[in-house]
Amino acid sequence: MVQFVCSRLLRALMTLFIIVTFAFFVMRLSGDPLSRFFDVANTPPEVIEAFRRQWGLDQPIWVQFYKYLVAVLHGDLGNSMRENRPALAVVLDRLPATLAIMAPTLLLKTALGLLAGITAALHRNSVFDRLIMSISVLGFTVPTFVLALVLALIFAVQLRWLPSGGYSSPLHMVLPIVTLSIAGAAVIARYARSAMVEVLGQPFVRTARAKGVPWTKIVIRHVLPNAAVPIVTIFGFMLGSMVGGAVVVESVFSWPGIGRLLISSVTSRDLAVVQVILLLIGAMMVMSNLLVDLLYGVIDPRMRAPRQAKS
């Protein structure tokens, strides 16, 4: 188990390094931040030179990258060009707003998805099964921004039950949470159904039924544990994409979270803030994948000792 964890940690560190490198070079090669802060044609050259010198943009890009890596290793993630304060502080100020909708979303879509998927599998090929799967297909094929706009049009504009955007009351959380939960629950439902159907067709299920084991006991003690691996996989992916998945919804509903901050920071070429957000998203994906790998070892002991299993 120690070797298993160490190998996953090493892979995680390599992934984070690739993310940091990608974010650094893409942001600097995609455009000059000067154009977002100054009218370059009408700005005195000494002002432009002072700006470049202040933010280290007057040095070759490889020198900038080396200094950035050294700073990151020392815990310095740079300063925001727009707010002239630590970029990490800017991002952390927005994190509670994002978690306020993503945490309930994760719980809601997991519960709905598992309930729908398991129910569909237990009633395979029935009208109920086809109805659930049709709704699931519709849920994850409709783009998130389209679903968000449709929900806002119905419940905020037409019915006037909910606010269309903002952050001042719990009611403002409803539409963002529902929008994200519908798409996520649809994906989980399909994975859960497929995993359940596959396990329900295994010989040990038929044997248990032939022995007279109650159906509820078979499902809870035998089917669900064996169907857990693919379900845990998709759950880990959704856990890691909590922050990144909020970009579109936060923009549509004017929610002041990290997703909306990412859009505005990319637009204004606020390099340090974008790098911190991408690093945060990457770290969450890496940690969720690590958690999933560890859960694999708990769910299926064969994954902890593949050599012994082969021998």
Give per-residue pLDDT as tens, 26-35: 877 776 777 7
Contact 128, 120 (CB under 8 A): yes
CA distance 107 to 124: 25
Mean pLDDT of the residues in the chain: 82
Does the pLDDT of residue 84 top 70, yes or no?
A: yes
Contact 166, 172 (CB under 8 A): yes
Counting residues of the chain whose pLDDT is more than 70, the rounded percentage is 91
In which band, very low, low, confident or very high, does the pLDDT at 304 lie, cut at 50, 70 and 90?
low
Residue range 234-243, pLDDT digits in tens: 777 777 677 7
The type of residue at 164 is S
Q: What is the DSSP string of the chain?
A: -HHHHHHHHHHHHHHHHHHHHHHHHHHHHS--THHHHS-GGGS-HHHHHHHHHHTTTTS-HHHHHHHHHHHHHTT---B-TTT-SBHHHHHHHHHHHHHHHHHHHHHHHHHHHHHHHHHHHHTTTSHHHHHHHHHHHHHHHS-HHHHHHHHIIIIIIIS--S-SS-SSSGGGGHHHHHHHHHHHHHHHHHHHHHHHHHHHTSHHHHHHHHTT--HHHHIIIIIHHHTHHHHHHHHHHHHHTTTGGGHHHHHHTT--SHHHHHHHHHHTT-HHHHHHHHHHHHHHHHHHHHHHHHHHHHH-GGGT-HHHHH-
pLDDT at 92: 92
The CA radius of gyration of the chain, in Å to the nearest whole number, is 24
pLDDT at 228: 81
Q: What is the model's pTM?
A: 0.79
pLDDT at 299: 66
Domain spans, the chain: 1-87, 89-303
Residue 75, classified by CB atoms within 10 Å of its CB into exposed (0-12), middle (13-18) or buried (19+), is: exposed
CA distance 146 to 220: 38
Q: What superfamily would CATH give domain 89-303? A: MetI-like (1.10.3720.10)
